[in-house]
Structure 1
Amino acid sequence: MMFVLKYLIFVFTVNFMLKDISSIPGHSFWKIKELVENQRENSAIHDYRRLYGSGQTVEEVLLTQPLDHFDAYSSETYKQKIYINVENWNKPNGPIFLFIGGEGALSNRSAYAGHHVEMAKLFGGMVVAAEHRFYGDSINDDGLHLDQLQHLSSQQGLADLTKVHNYITTRYELIDNKWICFGGSYPGALSAWFRLKYPHLVFGAVASSAPVQAQTDFQGYNEVVAQSLADPTVGGSKQCTAQVAEAFQKIDSMVSGHQTKELAKDFLSCGSLSESNDQMVFVNNLAGIFMGVVQYNNEVPGLNIKKLCNIMTESGDSYGNLQKINQMMMKTTNQSCVDNTYSTFLSGFTNQTVDRHAVGPGIRQWVWQTCSQFGYYQTCEKETTCPFSRLLTLESNLVICKEVYKISENMVPKFVQFTNDYYGANHPKGTRIIFVNGSIDPWHFLSVLKSDQVSGEVAVFINGTAHCADMATHKSTDPQPLKEARLVIQKEIASWLKET
């Protein structure tokens, strides 16, 4: 059975289009993500009206999918939400632009706003957007149970896209239409992998901020954060990074010296920090402020690297400056105190009740994927350039895999290795794939950064931009390197569409 509903794009505006990945950061990181997504939603509506005036009709379809594509004897199914926008389509031969969803709910915004939609208008393309299985509305009522999560994987997600391809091809009687897929962050990796594994279905792919190399211990994330905090191009400085590192060194010293009452008071913790697990959440929350602001630099007005560094360098008291950063974030997110309790932190991973009205990322599902496929754990315990607490350990991440998902610590690296063997890590040798990354984005560390003329991979590296910046609708205020990068992407896709 298939359920179809037509409506105007401006009717529903509460869900999110781009779901950007993290490993298991504290609540502060997720709060920044929420601010970013709300800003993106509001900006998309404003930008569309500014550029195109009235709205476009976007159709929503609930497509029945096998729960397990790789077991012919299984009859279980779920319904996957997809959006279709044919208003710019040059029927019947125009290209199909497939926007791939990720680790959260997908909104109709994915079919009416963004650089891929601008290019669809330019090239006469149909836009199809597919929500990822087990996120948003594309999940069964028991989908968060552990025995069901085994059906949540990138491989199953790619197989879903083949069925979406078949549905669109059959419904619109397509013959030789070229398909180009798009995705950012985890869906950026999926975009590259869809082209890599199903080249007979998709002609080319754009993979923005795509961490195609899975990595259990992702130390490089915070190394890039440190570099970004020191980059004068975006308002950073070496002094800023040094002050951040000094402040966290003092915190580690106070933790080891059992000065947790003072820490709880100074950083307005809702409860005690006497337990080691609560201390881990506490430093995670503090570090998450810097991680989130760097990853989404300038996406929320007034929340950027320049502001953080101005506060961190306004006096020689690095510890006091960090307190001000914490207070600034509390004010921004309307918190009277910071919840650093491990039980609250853990609740997002253990909750098995599906809430179809919830907004934001599917935390339980995504952490399952990190444990069973990708790792991506952002640590700080080894002697690297990481400026944060050494309490951000690999063990503190892996213990969640064991306690919540029954995946032992020694199995996670094996799953990560399988993912890299299966897809080719950061040397996939795919054809007609554009890898787009920003210098400020910590996730570029795991992407493809050099073009391969032999295979046909194109790398676009944008100085001074953060996570998935190229995917947004253009603005006159965009920095010149971002404008130039979009033109490179557009030119490459134009050349693909001319191929016979």
Structure 2
Amino acid sequence: MGSESVKTLIYLFIVIHAKFICHCESQKPGNVSNSIEQSGIASDEERFIVKKFTVPVDHFNFRLNKTFEIRYLVNDTWQHGKNSPIFLYTGNELYIEDAVGSAAFIYDIAPTFGALIVFAEHRYYGESLPFGNESFSNPENWGYLTSQQALADYVDLIEFLRSNSSMKHSPVITFGGSYGGMLSAWIRMKYPHVIQGAISSSAPVFQFHGIRDCEPYFQVVTSTFEAIDSECPKLIRETWGAIDNITSTDEGRKWLSAQWKLCTPITNKIHIAQLKRWLQRRYTSLAITNDRQSTPSYSEKQINEICTHLKNATEDSDIGILSALGLAVKTFKYFNDECINTADEPIVDQQWTYQVCTELVINLCTDGVRDMFNPEPFNFEEFSEDCQKKFGVTPQPGLACKIYGCSDFNAASNIVFSNGLLDPWHVGGVLRNVSDSVIAVIIPEAAHQFDLAGSHPQDPKSVIEARNIHKTFISKWIEEYREMSKSISL
């Protein structure tokens, strides 16, 4: 996968994850109440308080004494009793406000457990910037952006919360989805004396170069379209060649730019690559958010519309195919009424790009045969060169597995890994029970981290069952910790 494809991979993890929240556009930074309202659970007593907590820039260096503040959101509406549970959402590659709407399950169950709810922001994201406005201007400042440093931030925050005498023995349960799900599991693995259990949803903890194959992800995206219309993947596959053919001439580039009402007319290869990435992101976003809370779901309707337009092409030619696809893309959820902006969507100052270029070398690729996309193999050498150009760093594909383990989770405990089979990311997740306390929950009817969403009358049975499993284990972990705490205090 070359430098252009690396951009596609990065967008798939962060932009689509952001769009998934509430199945709506990403919330505006800092607007916590808006995020809650759009998730359908807002009331005056359910709003979060935004707080800040001071952490070291480097947790593992005794000579660097610099500190900064990370933000966290607190809701104590349902907290009651001494040593009440702490439900901690391990923030990921987003503004922390944006995580609230995607994890309504936490406050669905908080009243039952009398829990304090905390959403912690990941360093270098949102407003938790170690060097303020200079955090990304100097290459030397990037080095403290690692999952290990972020986990240490969360541990310090937990210790601070427990410093209250009434919470000294509060059990801590972590929750997270996607990269946040990886963090939720990893913090339990690395700090089992601090974290009593973890719910890790849609976490591709194995989707690293050299551990899992790179092809299955886009094969699942393709199968989502195929399940709705068996002819669709073949038709979409034909559009890539049609784009290449049409954009090979000035006349064709002008025609496509006008026909699709592109905000930026196609004039060079960069624009063509951007257009293809834009389409790939849209298709993949529909697969990731293809939940079954309604029948048909928004994604099913959108996919069906794309397929119908392609099948109804007025002529069997490049112009006919792209005219039909143009009608389809104008119905996309993110379409600007005036024009289609295919420019690469801004990733928050390239933070996630940096993480993938260092310790989290996630690999995705396409072959154009078993999937409906352009053939793009994962080329580690090109990927590494691109990371060197961007940040002056060399990827370490085995680092995440060295730190957290990949082939063997037998030493871990008290983790539930949940994966929806409609979610392409499940191919990189834990799909089998590791032990009696490291459990894999497979949800046939769920898309990306759907089990963390708030309950809905039309929730599929498998999603409801998954949430019940979560609650059962959470109750077990809390009870076990309380029994242990009693024995220690005697």
TM bucket normalised to smaller: 0.7 to 0.9
In the alignment, the residues of structure 2 paired with residue 123 and residue 66 of structure 1 have an alpha-carbon distance, to the nearest angstrom, of 32
Match of 2:401 in 1: 420
Deviates more, 1:458-467 or 1:104-113: 104-113
Match of 2:230 in 1: 238
In the alignment, the residues of structure 1 paired with residue 14 and residue 72 of structure 2 have an alpha-carbon distance, to the nearest angstrom, of 30
In the alignment, the residues of structure 2 paired with residue 129 and residue 29 of structure 1 have an alpha-carbon distance, to the nearest angstrom, of 20
Q: Does 1:151 align with 2:147?
A: no
Deviations 1:451-486 (A, max 9, x none): 1235x2111111122111111111112222211211
Aligned CA distance change for structure 1 residues 102 and 113 (closer, same or farther; 3 Å): closer
In the alignment, the residues of structure 1 paired with residue 17 and residue 205 of structure 2 have an alpha-carbon distance, to the nearest angstrom, of 22
In the alignment, the residues of structure 2 paired with residue 392 and residue 336 of structure 1 have an alpha-carbon distance, to the nearest angstrom, of 35
Aligned CA distance change for structure 1 residues 100 and 305 (closer, same or farther; 3 Å): same
Alpha-carbon contact 1:98-1:128 (below 8 Å) kept = yes
Q: Choose from 95, 101, 113 the match for 1:123.
A: 113
Match of 1:307 in 2: 302
Q: Does 1:73 align with 2:63?
A: yes
In the alignment, the residues of structure 2 paired with residue 426 and residue 267 of structure 1 have an alpha-carbon distance, to the nearest angstrom, of 47
Alpha-carbon contact 1:214-1:419 (below 8 Å) kept = no
In the alignment, the residues of structure 1 paired with residue 389 and residue 13 of structure 2 have an alpha-carbon distance, to the nearest angstrom, of 18
In the alignment, the residues of structure 2 paired with residue 48 and residue 147 of structure 1 have an alpha-carbon distance, to the nearest angstrom, of 42
In the alignment, the residues of structure 1 paired with residue 329 and residue 293 of structure 2 have an alpha-carbon distance, to the nearest angstrom, of 17
Q: Does 1:336 align with 2:322?
A: no
C-alpha displacement of 1:25: 5.2
Q: Does 1:326 align with 2:307?
A: no
C-alpha displacement of 1:180: 0.7
C-alpha displacement of 1:246: 2.3
Alpha-carbon contact 1:94-1:126 (below 8 Å) kept = yes
C-alpha displacement of 1:41: 7.5
Match of 2:73 in 1: 83
In the alignment, the residues of structure 2 paired with residue 299 and residue 134 of structure 1 have an alpha-carbon distance, to the nearest angstrom, of 34
In the alignment, the residues of structure 2 paired with residue 383 and residue 46 of structure 1 have an alpha-carbon distance, to the nearest angstrom, of 38
Deviations 1:167-200 (A, max 9, x none): 0111344333221100111010000000001111
C-alpha displacement of 1:48: 5.9
Match of 2:171 in 1: 178
Match of 1:229 in 2: 225
2:82 is aligned with what amino acid? Answer: P
In the alignment, the residues of structure 2 paired with residue 427 and residue 249 of structure 1 have an alpha-carbon distance, to the nearest angstrom, of 43
Match of 2:284 in 1: 291
Q: Does 1:473 align with 2:447?
A: no
- 3-state SS of paired residue (2:465): helix
2:459 is aligned with what amino acid? Answer: D
Aligned CA distance change for structure 1 residues 335 and 203 (closer, same or farther; 3 Å): same
In the alignment, the residues of structure 2 paired with residue 69 and residue 252 of structure 1 have an alpha-carbon distance, to the nearest angstrom, of 50
In the alignment, the residues of structure 2 paired with residue 367 and residue 36 of structure 1 have an alpha-carbon distance, to the nearest angstrom, of 21
Match of 2:50 in 1: 60
C-alpha displacement of 1:71: 0.7
Alpha-carbon contact 1:284-1:392 (below 8 Å) kept = no
Match of 2:351 in 1: 365
1:166 is aligned with what amino acid? Answer: E
Aligned CA distance change for structure 1 residues 470 and 180 (closer, same or farther; 3 Å): same
In the alignment, the residues of structure 1 paired with residue 102 and residue 358 of structure 2 have an alpha-carbon distance, to the nearest angstrom, of 33
C-alpha displacement of 1:241: 1.9
In the alignment, the residues of structure 1 paired with residue 244 and residue 376 of structure 2 have an alpha-carbon distance, to the nearest angstrom, of 8
Deviates more, 1:217-226 or 1:476-485: 217-226
Deviations 1:211-251 (A, max 9, x none): 112424843321110111122xxxx1322222222222433
In the alignment, the residues of structure 2 paired with residue 69 and residue 377 of structure 1 have an alpha-carbon distance, to the nearest angstrom, of 29
Scaled by the length of structure 1, the TM-score of the pair is 0.80
Unaligned stretches of 5+ residues in structure 2: 1-7, 314-320, 484-490
In the alignment, the residues of structure 2 paired with residue 135 and residue 316 of structure 1 have an alpha-carbon distance, to the nearest angstrom, of 44
1:467 is aligned with what amino acid? Answer: H
- 3-state SS of paired residue (1:37): coil
C-alpha displacement of 1:94: 2.2
C-alpha displacement of 1:278: 2.4
* Identity across matched positions, percent: 25
Q: Does 1:389 align with 2:374?
A: yes
Deviations 1:372-407 (A, max 9, x none): 122335432x35522112368758865642332123
C-alpha displacement of 1:49: 5.0
Aligned CA distance change for structure 1 residues 64 and 26 (closer, same or farther; 3 Å): closer
In the alignment, the residues of structure 2 paired with residue 55 and residue 47 of structure 1 have an alpha-carbon distance, to the nearest angstrom, of 15
Alignment of 1:426-441 (within 5 A): 427-429=408-410, 430-441=412-423
Alignment of 1:90-169 (within 5 A): 90-107=80-97, 110=100, 114-139=104-129, 140-145=132-137, 146-169=139-162
In the alignment, the residues of structure 1 paired with residue 15 and residue 449 of structure 2 have an alpha-carbon distance, to the nearest angstrom, of 20
